[in-house]
Amino acid sequence: MNGYRSSQGNGSLNKLFELDADIICLQETKLSEPAQLTDVPEEYSVYQHLSHVRGRNGVCIMTKYKPSNVMTQIGDDIFDRQGRFIRCDFGKSFSVVNVYMPHGGRDQRDLPYKLSIGETLIKYMSDIKCSRKMLCGDFNVAHKKADVARAKYNEKNTMFTREERALIDHLLASGLADSFRSINPEEQAYSWWPYSYEARKRNIGWRIDYIFLSSNMVSQIIDAKLSYEFEGSDHCPMVLDIAVDSQL
């Protein structure tokens, strides 16, 4: 979201709350203190993982349902200190994981670390023993050519390298499904645009934000879309409407 307080100021946060979603997952809140997260409607319980670096990273889950368990550690010291991971369990049958993956660097200096964290995350998700699980977040990876405006130009660039795209392949092979692609198999759609060159106005973007879910939940999807009307950030939110067959 490129900053919680920035989204407050430009009105996009209130617009997000107007969606009346049951669960909201935010990445890059850039908050350093829990008290800085304000103006949340009273029906939401709020769970955060803050970064040790002021004004950087940070993830949050807001939910109308009280979780039975909340975790903020994936088992990697660097990643865990940066405030990039949070998990909420709702009983033994449903888990939501929210992540903000590292970029990898334009010079790709940090790409090996990003790939390592990706594999750690895939194993972590596979180890969650419940019948329904979701993995949401900013992955800083465009998976297919339809997920980036200039695919050929970006083939060797960070966020679209062969190795990064293979991470998404591995994630899907582990038993999760890309909710957006499940019902929009060919649509050229983006969730992030660079600030430069009027990229958003010209729709020169990337789809790097995802909601993955257990394959057995795909048949319950009613709609999965990217909400372009939200303009308060370089990202737009993804909205998943799904019929849950039991109470959380």
- Catalytic option among 47, 89, 138, 210: 138
> What is the C-alpha to C-alpha distance for residues 36 and 151, in angstroms, rounded to an integer?
39
Contact 227, 239 (CB under 8 A): yes
User: Could you give the C-alpha distances from 32 to 54, 60, 73, 239, in angstroms and in order?
Assistant: 5, 12, 17, 27
Q: Which of 4, 47, 100, 210 is catalytic?
A: 100
Residues across the chain: 248
Active site residue 110: no
Is residue 138 annotated as part of the catalytic site, yes or no?
yes
Q: Please enumerate in sequence order all residues whose Cβ is within 8 A of that of 161, keeping only pairs 6 or more positions apart, or say none.
A: 108, 111, 155
Residue 82 exposed, middle or buried by CB count within 10 Å (0-12, 13-18, 19+): buried
Closest CA to 143 of 106, 181, 100, 117: 181
Residue written as token pair 């023993």: 129
The set of catalytic residues is 100, 138
